[in-house]
Structure 1
Amino acid sequence: MNYYLQNINLLKNKDPELATRLEDLSFSKGKIFISEDLSMKDEDCDVLVIFGFGNGSQVKEAIKHASKKTLVLVIDHDIANFKNILTLYDLKDIFNHERVSLAIGEEPLKATRIRMENYFQVITIKDIIVIDLYKNQVNPAYYQEIIKHLNESINASLQNIATMSEFASLWEKNILANISYLVLNPGLNLLKDSFKDFPAIIVSAGPSLDKNVGLLSEAKNKSLIICVDTALKTLLAHNIKPEIVVSIDPKEENFKHYQGSGIEGITLITEPVVSSQIFSLFKENLIFITSYGHPLMMWIEDIIGSKGTFPVGGSVATTAFSIARELGNNPIIFIGQDLSYSKDGVYSKNTFYMDNWINSMDKFLTLETITRNYLQEYNLIYVKGNYEEKVLTNSQMASWAKWFSHQFKNTKSLCINATEGGAKIENCVTMSLKEAINNYCQQIQDPKNILQDLHRRYKTPDIDNLIKKIKKVSDDYLLAEYYAQQAIETTKRLEKTSQNLLSQKDNFSQRELNLLQHINMLYGELKVMENVLMISRWHLDPLLIKLNSIRDSSLGGQIEIYNLFFQKILSISQNINSQFLKATEILQNIVVINENLT
């Protein structure tokens, strides 16, 4: 029996891009390589990577044995062989499985980092297990490159987890403080393809922006000017108002990019984690919300509807690019995207950061000294320049350049780097802004009217239902708080009455075993509280990594592990419940206002 039509139709739902590549490919008449290594063990890991698709039986085994949280990522360099496999085997169990991702015939970065980012939104994986069905005998260079990118993904994940540990509470606080703006404003998904084949100019705040910012006036209404928040004051100082400003940073100081600026008529596209001061400043303007996978925001979106998610790349400029791509802009033109340091400094003039540095200057502290001191905080590297042979950058900006390069390669729109300096970004066309405007910015549109029209189409969700759901999950957190308090009190009793905290399990007294059993029962009650664990996942992931590293099986070690866990649950529950209460009051006020208007 030929299973090709069944399999290709299933693939069109699971992975349309792979299905398209397969349909464009002729059937191979070569030998089909199938590994029969089925030696699998139960695996409890975040990502299980399989090198080689084989006949699919290995993947089915992986699904059967891997835990419910595990992403099964199948990577195979040979798309022609895979197409032949589709004719021979019924693969519906694989193609219908939500935890299976198929990277067939893809470049290593896309097959690894990009696929994991698309699946997890934000990578917080702690471990990856690789099963090599090819046993390093087939295309070893390709799979060695895959291993390199898997290691980079683990490193990025550890950085993400560290960031979560620092900012998780602030993100939650800001999301709930901004709840009124989340329900009263549409998501970015409402803007999908709204500027199809209309040019976009993304303005970043690199020092080269000072060279060509004045030309933007020639592109007004001939392009959609999207400005990162850092560059807003520079544009306004040149009497240029962008149509859109993008903001994603949760820190309070980010508000200073807007202070004293004339923002009237500028549309804000932002993530819900930014300071409520920024939302308040734009309350008379158009606002569109986007989401990047924060667990609390995902829970809210399940109730009020999706706002739209896309690859963010880790910076406000990468986010701006993803927005332009979502809007259908073509071409997408960059200026001020230096991704490097220069003799002119780190930022363009008039930005908050540059103004701050200038204000701190005196006869002993020059701008050159301030810049040098700033650069000494980073591990600097040389990379190829856009116009120069090499330029100074750091590893973070170099990673953004790689991200852009990969995204450009997989973007239908023409990508143009009109940055007059900075680091070289591959897979785009380099030209001056003057050339880009003359060649591509000739069509006249009124972006402001388009944005206003789309914003008016938004229908406010059922706020009463959201209030009800928040009250319900708040009750869950109150119960979690109660369980945590009970467990903490029990661990204190256990610690106080124990004869020997260094004793091992076999030597625990009956009283110690009973108290541990009670603590474990409370732990079990918390483990089934799905909403609490899901919403607070970014709080708990860093802690769980720490707990997994503790190898002390003594009574004192067990008490330490339980104490750390329950203290965290207690802190999370107390903090978020006070914020849920404020969010409920905000939403109830909206309901009252709406009732008075009707």
Structure 2
Amino acid sequence: MSFGKEEKLMKELYKKNKQILCWIYQMKEYINRQDRVNVVGLMHALATGISEILTEVIANKVVFSECGLEIDEEYLLSVLQQMLRAQEQEDYILYGDILQLQMLPMIVGIQNAIRNSGEDLLELYWEQNMQALKEKDSYLYEQMLSCEKLHEDSPYSQDIYSMEDTTVGDLTVAVTAEDKKLYLHSNENPTGYARPLIDTYYDPYIDEYIIYGLGLGYHCQYLASKDYDLDITILENDIGMIQLAMTYTDMSWYFGHPGVRIVYDPDWKMLSEMIRPTQKQIVLFHQPSVKRIKDGKILQQIQKYLVYEGSSRARSERMIRNYLFNIQHCEWNLTELEQQFQGKTVIIVGAGPSLDKNVHLLKEKHDNVIVLAMGAVCRKLYQLGLPMDYIIITDPKEISNSQIQGVEESGIPIIVLSTASKGIARNYHGRLYMLCQKGFEDAEKLATEYGLPLFETGGSVATTAVDMCIRFGAEKIVLIGLDMAYTGNRDHTTGARQEGITDYSDMIMVEDVYGNPVPTTRPFQLYREWIERRIERKDVTMPVIDATEGGAKIKGTEIRTLEEVLTGISVGSVVE
């Protein structure tokens, strides 16, 4: 075989192998999901493609032998026959096992041999992509013409980019910054690893998507393939990354989809303007791209968004199942509950470490004082024989079921969020009230249909409790056990789950109620800031008193001791 024909053969086989390897990984996903329609649909293409590749390899086994791959013709054909027999018998489990355990290693071996051939397999797409970009987006086109200069002036100018092959033959990119190497895509199957990410976020009822982080575009391409009518905006802060994608990947998926646009966002203006949680849109952050962000303030804002998004994403399967169970087993009519809170002093009891200082004083509470205990601390109060009027639980995870163990027969009414773990409603023998929350579509529809109040969760049980007391018109709101910090190197009161600090690297030092530094975490800080913003609103006409006697300072609250609150001593100052 001449040099030119051999080079052409290797390049053609390499490209075919890339497609076959992607199909094999995709087929395994379909089989694991018992997706018979897609399994059957892909089988013919796989059988045809693999047969063509093996025929070419066997016909050129001398060439492959020179590349270090000895071809066992009998074994190759035997595996192919086994695969076709399993296909004919519709034994999809066996078919998948043959693909993964026998066929996949063979195709990967062929791919590695082609790499060892010494042929230049790298394809460059810059010219064809730029020509198409000029037609699609003239503004980005002009920016890309100046991309070298723009990159030199950017925070990423010292980063080192390395293009690397993957198992399937697609490229990944590794970025080295400050002696730390970070991969933006899988070294095995970039497209395959992008699919679960997009499948997690994709909602057929949502048309608008914002993605931060282009990378080489695998996740963006898969989302674009979902629907031709989607509106997808891809924001990228590093023009060098856009340059890499335009140079080393075929961007026809982008040029051929009218709803996809790529935006170079060097000063974060577009990101700030486009993230509007009240709109019907989904915002997706490509985590490896987020890790590259050098602006600490922006990184903090994104982390803040991710905390909220992670705690309240409406379409998680667990939350929907909890909701469907809770609406059948809890009371929706909150008129009676609201009347119990209206005009009363409400003590919200958290499970922070400072609770040990003053929890015993709850025995002295008056009849016109309501004790609202968070789930994490209700068992402690019950065992101590301390008064509790209500318990509030919001966590959708099953682990929260343990919070009521030993309290099931107490008769204390429990207030649950509509998406709280259904195990609470299943196991508790007392009265249950359900709160409908903003941001969860099913609860919003229920509230609209039946005229129910909607509550803001803020991402935690503490923030939900504060909002509920405000909306119910409490006369005073008193916080105890709400440290929002690791007071005394502890995160919970005695008897509750304990996690001391072993690594201070991720801790943030904030001011405590006494003016001293205290370590806290990013989630604690976000919840505290949420409460600070909430109590600044015009509907907050009652005083909010921090009687925790420890923990992070909450701006806008009056600092008092619990003893002062219970004895009616009106001293203390508002935290500025």
TM-score bracket, normalised by the shorter chain, equals 0.3 to 0.5
Normalised to the residue count of structure 1, the TM-score between the two structures is: 0.44
Normalised to the residue count of structure 2, the TM-score between the two structures is: 0.46
Bigger proportion of residues as strand: 2
